Structure 1
């Protein structure tokens, strides 16, 4: 995602500079007003918490502390969800939403810089995720939280849900990534076909040279592939420009310096993917002790819905549901936040509030 998001951001500067920044100031102020929480039992805590030996940014927001807690695990690597508060503001009426910018990402990276991130490995961030979960449980005085990973975050999420059912009341995956140790090449094949149809001979050669087995890719090659996969699909590219870059540009949390740091953090976080191409989610186990939900973009080209469905069908869980989100590729929850909320209210909230006295 790194290259394509950066390119889309550069394109946004094509507008006259004075008008661009005036418009940005007005919109950011409007988003700041939208984000205010004034309900008597609400919570709005955003700041740095010491996790894994370094300071990491965590946001805890909601209109009623009695609501179920959603803990996001963002994707990328380095694609923090902290810019999306305005898009998902309605979720906070029904849930307490916890956003965490991993080491190397977003506001955590902006605060500590490259020298303040410590070890950047999958294993280290996995342990951070467990520590963040326990911090949230203690801070909010709840027994479990809903685990809600997206994109590369689902690689962490599946392992967290398998290994720590005592911490989570449900699993809700979106942009669900299923690792199959290189067996499934459908997304790779489709990317090549789109590039060939568009006459992108140089890009075709790049992807072909990488080969179809992600176990052989370097982290830099994975980033290159993601850029070409997303950039060759009109719907995904439209979402990146309007939703991803637009949210980052207009977020009240992001000064221009923090926007720059956001992109630097994505490049810095590339090592997180080292070795993950060899993961095998089917072999690791399809039995989960928590309710299991997947809400996937119907036209996702990065993590295809058919692959997520195949894994979902093999899952054994106390309760499970799979839903497609129309007019959405990757980043489905952010492109269609109201539809995603409907699915949370239809499937997830009733399960995790069963037997509890909570407001609707």
Structure 2
């Protein structure tokens, strides 16, 4: 994994004792910054029975009266809990709910790889609906704002389309759009980048897989995603400066849990072959909830052009498409200030008056 390699390089360049002492100091500072001590606030984390499996949830916010925003992380297997310090300012305006999906993070660590049950896209989709129902009951709200991040946006898109009774607005960040495998532009663009960089072994693996993702194995999906991120300079930079550092200094994660973070990608790759035939265009472009997309202008993983083509067909009560300049993948976390501005000025004003 690219993130693991970055951490290894950092560790090799610094004496272990000093590295751990610095980590402890930064984690303590971030823990203080994450503290919620207002009388109207909420800061809870627990394992909830979702889909027959104990799955980890975090609920944080400065004021329980604020709208509830449920985040669906990417990957699959890429827990956003490590990014908590970057979204701290969001929690003044929304109650932010995070969930480690089956096969991911604290949920994976709780039951182990063999205890994750069915690892399919359909199972994750059912789990997501159960999570919303759990959050509604726990916080006493009717609907939630749904934030889908990268792979999580594939789940979010389907819930927003089919269950507007549960969703007050949909926000897609690094939106993943499936088209049944018709468009192979991403495949050929990656091959071109690999050839240009002289990555012969990686290019050979991509050519051996072929352009039809419906025939790919979980391992081939995982390789493709890793190569795509590694050859996207803006995304690779964000992985080092945003994800890797956040993971290393997360006050919510112990050293053993860092290993679980990496294992999550391997375990969750089993989900990917079941996504190859998905077709968002065929499933419908009408949404009965406000619809917002946020993309990194330089994202080569989930390209803004593909997201924009889908967005242009969307019919919704309100919609907007926002590009974050000089950002690739992880755009909302590369510029959490700009994402918060979008929340405050565009998303939250579009919500219905009732909770």
The TM-score range, normalised by the shorter chain, is over 0.9
Partner residue in 2 for 1:10: 8
Task: Give every structure 1 segment of 4 or more consecutive aligned residues whose post-TM-superposition deviation is greater than 3 Å.
Answer: 354-357
Which secondary structure does the structure 1 equivalent of 2:223 belong to? helix
Which secondary structure does the structure 2 equivalent of 1:170 belong to? strand
Indicate conservation of the 8 Å contact 1:69/1:97, yes or no: yes
Task: Provide Cα deviations, 1:206-258, integer angstroms capped at 9, x if missing partner.
Answer: 21221222212111101100111110122111111111111111111111111
Partner residue in 2 for 1:141: 140
Shift in Å, 1:356: 6.0
Task: Provide Cα deviations, 1:172-201, integer angstroms capped at 9, x if missing partner.
Answer: 001100001111222222212221221222
Partner residue in 1 for 2:327: 328
Q: TM (normalized to structure 2)? A: 0.97
Indicate conservation of the 8 Å contact 1:110/1:262, yes or no: no
Q: TM (normalized to structure 1)? A: 0.96
Indicate conservation of the 8 Å contact 2:71/2:98, yes or no: yes
Task: Provide Cα deviations, 1:299-354, integer angstroms capped at 9, x if missing partner.
Answer: 111100000000000001111100001121111111111111111112101011x5
Partner residue in 2 for 1:124: 123
Indicate conservation of the 8 Å contact 1:75/1:150, yes or no: yes
Map 1:161-176 → 2, pairs under 5 A: 161-176=160-175
Matched, 1:29 2:25: no
Task: Please list every run of 5 or more consecutive structure 2 residues that lacks an aligned counterpart in the other structure.
Answer: none
Which secondary structure does the structure 2 equivalent of 1:38 belong to? coil
Shift in Å, 1:205: 1.6
Partner residue in 2 for 1:219: 218
Rounded Cα–Cα distance in structure 1 between residues aligned with 2:193 and 2:12: 27
Task: Provide Cα deviations, 1:249-282, integer angstroms capped at 9, x if missing partner.
Answer: 1111111111111111221111111221111100
Rounded Cα–Cα distance in structure 1 between residues aligned with 2:18 and 2:326: 31
Task: Please list every run of 5 or more consecutive structure 1 residues that lacks an aligned counterpart in the other structure.
Answer: none
Equivalent residues, number: 354
Which secondary structure does the structure 1 equivalent of 2:12 belong to? coil
Map 1:1-360 → 2, pairs under 5 A: 3-16=1-14, 17-352=16-351, 354-355=352-353
Indicate conservation of the 8 Å contact 2:77/2:103, yes or no: yes
Rounded Cα–Cα distance in structure 2 between residues aligned with 1:158 and 1:249: 31
Shift in Å, 1:11: 2.0
Rounded Cα–Cα distance in structure 2 between residues aligned with 1:71 and 1:56: 15
Task: Provide Cα deviations, 1:6-27, integer angstroms capped at 9, x if missing partner.
Answer: 2222222222212211111111
Shift in Å, 1:132: 0.3
Which secondary structure does the structure 1 equivalent of 2:276 belong to? helix
Rounded Cα–Cα distance in structure 2 between residues aligned with 1:72 and 1:309: 21
Task: Provide Cα deviations, 1:83-115, integer angstroms capped at 9, x if missing partner.
Answer: 111011000001100000001101111222123
Task: Provide Cα deviations, 1:285-304, integer angstroms capped at 9, x if missing partner.
Answer: 00111111001111111100
Indicate conservation of the 8 Å contact 1:109/1:262, yes or no: no
Rounded Cα–Cα distance in structure 1 between residues aligned with 2:129 and 2:236: 33
Task: Provide Cα deviations, 1:149-187, integer angstroms capped at 9, x if missing partner.
Answer: 111111111111111110000010011000011112222
Rounded Cα–Cα distance in structure 1 between residues aligned with 2:11 and 2:223: 23
Rounded Cα–Cα distance in structure 2 between residues aligned with 1:242 and 1:99: 22
Shift in Å, 1:77: 1.1
Deviates more, 1:11-20 or 1:241-250: 11-20
Deviates more, 1:56-65 or 1:270-279: 270-279
Rounded Cα–Cα distance in structure 2 between residues aligned with 1:244 and 1:20: 18
Rounded Cα–Cα distance in structure 2 between residues aligned with 1:177 and 1:110: 27
Indicate conservation of the 8 Å contact 2:120/2:274, yes or no: no
Rounded Cα–Cα distance in structure 2 between residues aligned with 1:334 and 1:173: 13
Indicate conservation of the 8 Å contact 1:73/1:150, yes or no: yes
Give the superposed CA RMSD. Answer: 1.3
Which secondary structure does the structure 2 equivalent of 1:86 belong to? helix
